[in-house]
Structures are given as structure tokens and as C-alpha cells.
Amino acid sequence: MIDLVIRVLINAVGVYVATQVIPQIDFSFGDDWWKLLAVALILALVNSYIRPIVKLLSIPISFVTLGLVAFVINGAMLLLVAVVSDQFDLGFKIGAFPPNLDADAIVGAILGSVVISIVSTALGMLNAGRRIVL
């Protein structure tokens, strides 16, 4: 249970950094930090349950593209998070998506997923040290 909480907090930091760095990602949560945590929870659930299935199904394409399809998969997962957060009216948008899926949204999702991955990896390395100590 504590690992899920830590994963959500790491994702929240990653989403916050992505909203500050990538201009296509618009997330106006204002003073409502619970919206940031809700989007991070959605991202953690999507990455835990849906992403492994999609990566498994994309293994043949991954061989052909030498793994570059992973960027597209991560971007698609971030777009899925935008759709789910739109259903809960959390205010997380990538470009004009949802409802309009255009090239700006796709590029923003791929760049945002790269930023979130870098931040999550860096903070996950710090978290790995916590696990060894305990």
C-alpha cells in the first residue's frame, strides 16, 4: 500500500514538472492539489494495469522499430489519462485533447511522457535506496 502512495507522489511530481516544461500540457489545478494527486493516481493505475498489456501486444512492432514504438505507447497512455481525467472534470488537457486529437496533442503527449519518465526514473532511484535501507 505504501508503494502505491509513493508511486502516486512520484507521478504527481512528474506531472507537475511536465506541465511546467511542456507548453502543450495544460493543467489548471490552481490551489486544488487533490486534482494533481487524482491525475497522478490515474497515471499510476494506467501504467500498472493497461500499459503492460499494450507493451506485450506491441512486441512485434517493437522489434521492427527497434523499440521506438515505446515513445508512442507512453504518449498514448498519457492521452488516455487525459481522457479519463476529462471524465472526472479535473482540467488536464494535452493541446486541444480531449476532444480534438491533432498533431499538437500527439507531440505534447510524447514529450510529456518523456519528461514524466525522466522525473519518475530519477525519483524512483531515490526510492530504491529507501527500500534497501528498510
Q: pTM of the predicted model, to two decimals? A: 0.91
> Over the stretch 88-128, which tens digit does the pLDDT of each residue have?
999 999 999 999 999 999 999 999 999 999 999 999 888 87
* 93 φ, ψ (degrees, to nearest 5): -130, 150
Asked if 81 and 72 touch (Cβ cutoff 8 Å), the reply is no
**Which of 35, 40, 30, 52 lies closest to 10, judged by CA?**
40
What is the DSSP-derived secondary structure letter of residue 1?
-
